[in-house]
Structure 1
């Protein structure tokens, strides 16, 4: 029995996760892990490259063969799955974990696939108390955390009944990309029916309840109440990030509605359930948007137009996809260690409350800063710490996690993940009430 299985450990991100877990201060004394992949030669290279000792079991597994997946996960507690595209190879792994009541995290940026596993496995996971958390890296932990922190600050300062009206995040990023990311995007264009892709872009696609429409996409974005003005343009990750965040919102909203009609059947006592519901719900008027920061408006417009042309070209011109797949970075490759060390990201979120007769509109400014290439070094830490939270901290998790199901980073892990990320020294978080000019308020 080992605590964590890293599936796809020989891939670019899988190697980074393996390296992080192997160097972790608690490895051996508090947790164990194993690595798995399809190629024996690549596993041998991984063991040699990272100087892994015999305490790390090495497992051969082909994810296209369910019997091998079943055998691989049989003696573990948590699976970290990095084998994408998940629409091709993720479902058998989720199925095996749900069947055994194991916990699972991945890096899926594929909302159409996440919708499929919600439909097929969410209920079954609640029966086996299996916690399934897709999108546990750059897609979509920072977005999920930003709204969660803002809501927590508003509730603590203004009052437990405070509701959110608008929440907007500005992303500043320095980092590279790997061939696996590009391969997943192209595979989606080629293999997912166009109607399904279009449906996956709709609001509340992953949410169990419908909410208010999101703001329309535009060329130029501005972050509210921040001085000096922060501007940017359309962020390609907004689709999956917002879908995951809206699922967090929807899961909490659904729970609140169930409790308000006295339909709650949890083991949690009713007073505790009501307190947690108030603490976690964002409110029925919640709307979210995000953009990527640009040096100026002109550059932002050029970037947005270039992205739109590139995306449309790859979608509709098959020979171009063929060329890109052969000339651009191949899966398994990515930025150098030096490039990744110089990477970082900063998400600045401004969230406003719904004004009432008793309380005026209130603004909160929340910042998440991560050191290391966002999509790779930082992502490796985020998903690893999510997995470790499922190993060590299940008794501290929110009620939704204790029930099980296909969840999200914040609905499943909440404050536990934030604290674990803080402890790594690679992430910083702030969340403060600000005035209409963006100045921090010291009193309230």
Structure 2
């Protein structure tokens, strides 16, 4: 079940599901959302024969949502901001034992959902997977591959890993901007929410690890001989990576330090570029409205290249590269969540219920699926 099929990202996910599954595959699927007329428009665009079910359900109707999720094994939801429109659906899935996947980049809301529904999901067997897109799959999987390779080669994980965005081309949508604005508005009015946003271990209740880099200013990175700038998505990605570590039994260690920055480059030119990247990250396009976003041509022209550099206590060093051949937030993200859902259906039968990160839940299985079907590669480069 794809919930929220009429939004900007929802339409992309619907189109990708149609490409991967069609309407005559052995796997039955459906569209759902609050606006029946717009659902029919989406359905007609991807299924002119009209065989695909399109179900009108409001995100704020708990009884209707409960009935909806009892009809399906898995729900993909693109209805954001999740903190405004997503809580009832998580509750319904957790109670019904129905698997749930989203594209959430709202860590404070995720923490509230973990606190409220993790135990219920463990009891019912519901697998709740947050952040199944560019937030934060490439980052989870890059760190996981790097640390597994460190353990294989050196006998221990790296205590320090740097995530560095080398190149990225892509745009924001109005929905993403609305999620960011909703997060900041809640933090302004709620001291507990603000504390969660500032805590790098906010998604690991009861655990406090070592001090983490703040990553909030342009600085020189001596390990890379380059100037680096703040990365807009670091606030969610770093917290998901720390949650993955905890869900994997602290595979990376309890002393693990991780940050994410954008590469400006060496010398004066690199410093100037880093300053420009920082300014762009601090001033997103406020004119975008929900339903608006990059064109199909812009999505196809997008890409990303992220490096994960592991630094060992005895001068060991290793790098993993994660790259993608589409706009990260939309062209790539729509494929990522579809492949994650299919992996959960096909390969997740032994996975216990609870609130998961997709990397910790599916690991190398979803990495292979993304390589085969989503244009993402994950490679170990060496030092």
Alignment TM-score > 0.5, same fold: yes
1:194 Cα deviation after fit: 4.2
Q: Shift in Å at residue 33 of structure 1?
A: 1.5
Match of 1:366 among 320, 345, 356: 320
Structure-1 separation of matches of 2:221 and 2:181: 32
> How many angstroms does 1:37 deviate by?
1.1
Give distance in 1, aligned partners of 2:27 and 2:246.
Answer: 33
CA separation in 1, counterparts of 2:230 and 2:49? 46
Secondary structure of the 1:212 match is coil
1:50: how far off? 2.4
Deviation at 1:376, TM superposition (A): 0.4
CA–CA distance in structure 2, aligned partners of residues 225 and 292 of structure 1: 14
Asked if structure 2 preserves the Cα contact closer than 8 Å seen for 1:173 and 1:345, the reply is yes
Matching of residue 289 in structure 1 with residue 269 in structure 2: no
| Matched-pair contact (CA < 8 Å) for 1:163–1:282 | yes
Q: Indicate if the aligned counterparts of 1:233 and 1:292 stay in contact, CA closer than 8 A.
A: yes
Q: Which residue matches 1:204? A: 201
Write out per-residue CA displacement over residues 102-142 of structure 1, whole angstroms, 9 at most, x where no aligned residue: 11110111111001011010111111111101111111111
Superposed CA deviations along residues 378-408 of structure 1, whole A, max 9, x for unmatched, are: 000111111111111114x6xxxx2211111
Over 3 Å counting, the alpha-carbon distance change for 1:67 and 1:184 in structure 2 is: same
Task: Tell me the equivalent position of 1:320.
Answer: none
Which residue does the alignment assign to 1:15?
A: 11
Q: 1:331 to 1:170 in 2, by over 3 A?
A: same
In the other structure, the counterpart of 1:419 is 368
Match of residue 307 from structure 2: 348
Deviation at 1:217, TM superposition (A): 2.6
TM-score, length basis structure 2: 0.92
Paired residue for 1:330?
Answer: 289
Q: Does 1:177 align with 2:136?
A: no
Q: 176-185 or 423-432, which moves further after superposition?
A: 423-432
Higher mean alpha-carbon deviation, 333-342 vs 212-221, is at: 212-221
Aligned to 1:220: 218
Contact kept in structure 1, 2:215 and 2:229, CA below 8 Å = no
Q: Which moved more, 1:328-337 or 1:297-306?
A: 297-306
Map Cα deviations across residues 325-355 of structure 1 (whole Å, 9 max, x no partner). 6xx12111211111110001111110123x3
378, 391, 405: which is aligned to 2:345?
A: 391
The runs of 5 or more residues in structure 2 that have no matched partner are none
Partner SS state of residue 210, structure 1? coil
What is the alpha-carbon distance in structure 1 between the residues aligned to residue 214 and residue 91 of structure 2? 36
Alignment of 1:45-444 (within 5 A): 45-159=41-155, 162-171=156-165, 172-192=167-187, 193-199=189-195, 200-208=197-205, 209-221=207-219, 225-226=223-224, 229-253=225-249, 281-294=251-264, 296-305=270-279, 307-308=281-282, 310=283, 328-353=287-312, 355=313, 360-395=314-349, 402-424=351-373, 426-434=375-383
| Residue in structure 2 matched with residue 437 of structure 1 by the alignment | none
8 Å contact from structure 1 (residues 174, 344) kept in 2: yes
Compared with structure 1, are the counterparts of its residues 393 and 330 closer, same or farther at alpha carbon in structure 2 (3 Å cutoff)? same
Inter-partner Cα distance in structure 2 for 1:29 and 1:10: 23
Change (3 A) 1:224 1:130: farther
Once the two structures are TM-superposed, the CA of residue 25 in structure 1 deviates from its matched residue by 5.6
Give me the whole-angstrom Cα distance separating, in 2, the residues matched to 1:13 and 1:156: 39
Q: For structure 1, which runs of at least 5 residues remain unmatched after alignment? A: 255-280, 312-323, 435-444
Q: SS of the counterpart of 1:76?
A: coil
TM-superposed deviation, 1:163:
2.5
Query: Which of structures 1 and 2 has the bigger CA Rg?
Result: 1
How many residues align structurally? 375
Conservation of the 8 A alpha-carbon contact between 2:132 and 2:358 = yes
Using the TM superposition, give the Cα deviation of residue 221 of structure 1 relative to its aligned residue in structure 2, in angstroms.
4.5
Listed one character per residue, the Cα deviations across residues 197-216 of structure 1 (whole Å, up to 9, x for unaligned) are 42122121111422111113
TM-score, normalized by length of structure 1? 0.80
